[in-house]
Structure 1
C-alpha cells in the first residue's frame, strides 16, 4: 500500500490545527482550575486539591462537588453546543450573522420551557429530563416557521431575509414571554427574569445527566458531517453536481443545530452571542475546513462560556451577574462590528 505524502501546505495546516486545539484545551484547563477556586466561599488551590483527593472538609466537598463542578461542566457543555450550532447555521445559510440567538431559535426553545415552568415546578427529577424535550419542540417549531417565512421560490433562502425574519420572530416571542411573566407570582417572576437574562440555572448533576446524552449524540454527528458542510459551502448547484443530496443533508444538519441549541437553552436560559463569536474566532485560527473548524468552535465556545460564568461569579461578590449578560457585554460590540462589515 502506497503511503500518502502530504504537501508542505497540508502539513503546515494540520500542524496549525493541532497546535490551536491543544492550546485551547490548555486554556480551558486553566480556567477550569480558576473557576473551581472562584465563588462566594473561596477555596484555595490547596483546598481544591485536598478535596479532590477526598481529604477536604464536609463543607468543602459540598461546595466543590455539589455546586461548582456541576455548574462548570454545564458551562462547558452549553458553550460547546451553542458554538457548534452557530457554526452549522452560518455554514448552511452562508451568513456570517447567523446564530441560534439572532435566528430566534433560542427564543422559541426558551418560550416552551417558560410555559412549562409557569405551571409546573422545574425542580423535580422528571421535569429536569423533560425540559430538553420541551426546548427542542419549541426550537424546532420556531426554526420551521422562520425557514418557511424566509424561503422564496425565486431566489431560495436569502441570508439577509433569514436574519431579519429571525430577529422579528425572536422579538415577537420575547413579547409573549413578557406577557406570560406578568401572570406569575413574584417568586416565579424573579426566576423567569433571571433565566431570560441567561443564568446557568441547572446547578446540579441531574441537569448534567439531562444534557449530556444530547451532546454525546449531536456533537459527534456534527463532526461526522464536516465533509458535507464543506461541500454545501460551495453552493447548491456545485454540491448537487458533486453528488450530494443537498436538501436532505441541509435538513439533517439544520435539525442537529436546532437540537443542540434547544437542549442547551433548557439548562442555561437565553444566552446569546456564543454561537456568533466562536465560529468567527475559530475561522481566524484554523481556517474554513469543518474537520478542524467544528472542534475548534466547540472548544472556543466552552472556553468563552466558562470564562463568562467565572467572571459573573467573581466580579460583584457576593452578588452574581448572569452569564448571559457577561457574554452580551462581549458579544454585542462584536455583533455590531460584523453588522457594519456585512455587505448584505
Structure 2
C-alpha cells in the first residue's frame, strides 16, 4: 500500500515497485561484477552545480542568511519544506543546510548559518558574487498532510521549520520558538507577520530557565503532528511525550546509546584504531586520517561511506541499499562487531 501523502498530496512509492527496483538494481550490479567493473559509488545527491551568492544578510547574533542563484538566473530544482542542500565551500569543506526561503521562488535558494565551527566560519566569510557548489536539494525531514501541526524550533533550528509554518497558514497550527535571547534568534521579523495567537516566542533570558518538554507540547493534542528541530536536549524533552506524532531533525550528531567498543584496521597502513563505546568510527578515523569526507554525521547523506574489506558491520545509516551495505559502511553512525577492515 502507498504511504501517507506529503504536503502536496503525493504518496510514497508502492512497496511492490520499490522491491522491483531493488531487484533490477541488484541484477545490474551483478552484471557489472561479472564484467570485472567496479560498482559505481552511490551519488550523494541528484544535482551538483555552481551557484552565485546574491545576498548576505545578518539575521541574528552570529547568524547570516545567504541567497543563492544560478549564474544566469535560470530556474533551480523544485523543493519542499524540510529540504536541505549540501554546500561545498571553496576550501572543499562540505556542510548541509536547510532551505528556508520560499519554495515557490524557483530563482533562488536561501540558507541561514550560525557561526559555530570551521565550516560555518567559512560561510560567514562569503560575500556577494562568490561562487559555491550546491548539491541537492534532498529531503530527510518530509512534511506530510495532517489535521493539525505543532512546530517546535530551537535557535537555528527555525530554518527548516519556517517554510513549513508559512505553508500551512490556513490550517490548524502553532509554533513554539526558543532560544537564549531574542537577539540570538533569527527570522523574528518574518514570524511577526504571522498570527500572533499561534506563535510563542520563548527566549530563556526572559523566563530565567530553559524551556521544559511539557511547555513545548502545550498545544499537542492526540492528532497533532509535531515537527521539531533543535539541540539534542530539546528533542529529548519532546520525545518523552507520546501523545502526538513526532517528526524531528537534528543539527548535531545524535548521542550514542548502547554503543560497544570495536576496532578498525586501516588496510593501507595496517594501523589498528580502537573505537570506544561512546565515540563514532568517524571521530576516530578522522583523527588518524585527516581529510576523510563527511557531512551530515547522522547517516542519511552517504558522504562518509567507506569500502569494507572484512569484518561484521552493524549498519545504522538511512541511505545505503542492502547491496551497498555488503561492501560499504557509513562510518558516522554504523559500528563494528569485533574488528572491521576499511579500505583506507
Shorter-chain TM band = under 0.3
Structure holding more strand per residue: 2
TM-score by length of 1: 0.23
